[in-house]
Amino acid sequence: MGSMTTDEENRPVRRRVTLTGISSRAWEHPADRGALTALRELRGFDDVVKAFFGMWNERGFRLQFLAGAIRVDHRQYPRVYQRFTEAAQTLDVVELPELYVSQDPIINGSAIGLDKPFIVITTAAVERLDDDELRAMLGHEIGHVRSGHAVYKTIMMILTRWAASLSWLPVGAIALRAIIAAMFEWWRKAELSADRAGLLAGQDPAASLRLLMKLAGGGDLSQIDTAAFLEQAAEYESGGDLRDSIHKIGMTTWSTHPVPVARAAELRKWIDSGAYAQILGGDYPRRDSDGDASVSDDVKAAAQSYRDTFNNSQDPLVGLLRKLGDGAGDLAGSAVRGARNWASDASRRGRGNGDGEA
């Protein structure tokens, strides 16, 4: 998992494994990857999206940050730049996107743009994250860039504005809202993918977990306990009753990000599955094989992921739906068995009557 050395101040430094030639498919959640693979197969689709994005003017976005934020390099925010280059090197990203620091009291980061995506993090992230947490956050945003998420997130922006402008048209609004809800669901899975990229960039599970704790509770972890935070995640997933399940649906349906405790739980599950160690061991898809990706295989993997989530979920509503499904299956099975028994009995009675009459 990487050996340990010390820096000039004799502090332990984890030696990270460079993931040479790694493909973004290595960290993409199955539901995210299935959608991405299908969209990438649509020839010219990205060009259409970029044409629509012209209405928002990507150059204008960059100029906005160029004018009102700090562009990071070896002279400005050198500590941030060093963590940025380390994260990029670990993920084998040669061409660094532009990176800006924007004034904001909330810990946050984002990847913006289509032709030349750039990354923005807030001053709160710079001030409240230690080096390992910052590296994980920057790796998260690099993961978004490498996966091409910005292109498809732009679709959500366009459709959301369309939905607002067509709110007077009931049929159109309902159809658009259904599409937007589905895209929000995809984006939440894209965030899980980026969390994995952040972990691979930093290769420090504790730091990735601390980052999510700070996103949930600010920047001071002196009074926060990791085990207790994971207990929160377990309670969020399985605690309460059907009323809580309904509230959770309302909280997440129109949200782009899973809640921090859910993200922590999902990242822990990915580590426990062995996939993280497998990648660090050198077993991962390479970029030069991206052209061989199978749409059908990725879609099947996405469907299996949703099935596994449904079957293993501790949520009360999902548990009820499983029971109803099992009950329906038992009822159908009983009906089939009853029909077969009735047919068998009728056949025997028929044979018995024939023998008597002869």
Residues linked to residue 100 through DSSP beta bridges, in sequence order: 71, 120
CB 14 within 8 A of CB 208: no
Contact 13, 4 (CB under 8 A): yes
Rg (CA), the chain: 26
Mapping DSSP onto H, E and C, the string for 108-146 reads CEEEECCCCCEEEEEHHHHHHCCHHHHHHHHHHHHHHHH
N-terminal to C-terminal alpha carbon distance within the chain: 84
What does the alpha-carbon distance between residue 189 and residue 314 come to, in Å, rounded to a whole number?
A: 19
Identify the helix (H) or strand (E) that includes residue 340: helix 316-357
Name every residue whose Cβ is closer than 8 Å to that of residue 124 and which is 6 or more positions away in sequence: 104, 105, 106, 107, 108, 219
3-state secondary structure of 4: strand
Catalytic residues: 141
